[in-house]
Amino acid sequence: MRTYALFLAGLGVFFAIIGSIYWFSSYEDGGFLMLIGSALLGLFPGSYYLWWSYKMKPQADDDPSAEVDEGAGAVEAFPGSSIWPFILGMGALFTVLTFVFGLWLAPLGAALFLSGAIGGTVESRRGGAI
């Protein structure tokens, strides 16, 4: 976990330095704010992971002499295929298309989004297909 933390924190520091250079060389607000936002997107999770790495036992990724099979997770722990993520995504698509084509798509998008969220939750709690 420490490896991921240092990588993300390093990205955050890199974008902060580039953002500072960009600010002083161009005086343009949009690009500067996007670069600072990118720096924060690296620093926030990186500092959180670094904080947790001190509280957890060392992971296999942090040990240079670790082998590949030490970092492997449980076998067959992945869920099977499901239609609910597709329905959830279509609901999100129709909800966003509401801004383009009008409010008549909002009920369809909300219904798909809600049914996808409920179906995915119910399926994940049962452990199988509905």
Question: What distance in Å separates the CA atoms of residue 52 and residue 31, rounded to the nearest whole number?
Answer: 32
pLDDT in tens, 38-57: 999 999 999 999 998 888 87
DSSP 83: S
Share the mean pLDDT of the chain: 86
What is the model's pLDDT at position 80?
A: 67
**What percentage of residues in the chain have a pLDDT greater than 70?**
88
What is the model's pLDDT at position 126?
A: 62
Token digits for 69?
């099979």
pLDDT at 22 over 90: yes
pLDDT at 123 over 70: yes
What is the model's pLDDT at position 34?
A: 95
For the purposes of burial, counting CB atoms within 10 Å of the CB of 75, is it exposed (0-12), middle (13-18) or buried (19 or more)? exposed
pLDDT in tens, 48-92: 999 988 888 777 777 778 777 776 766 654 556 789 999 999 999
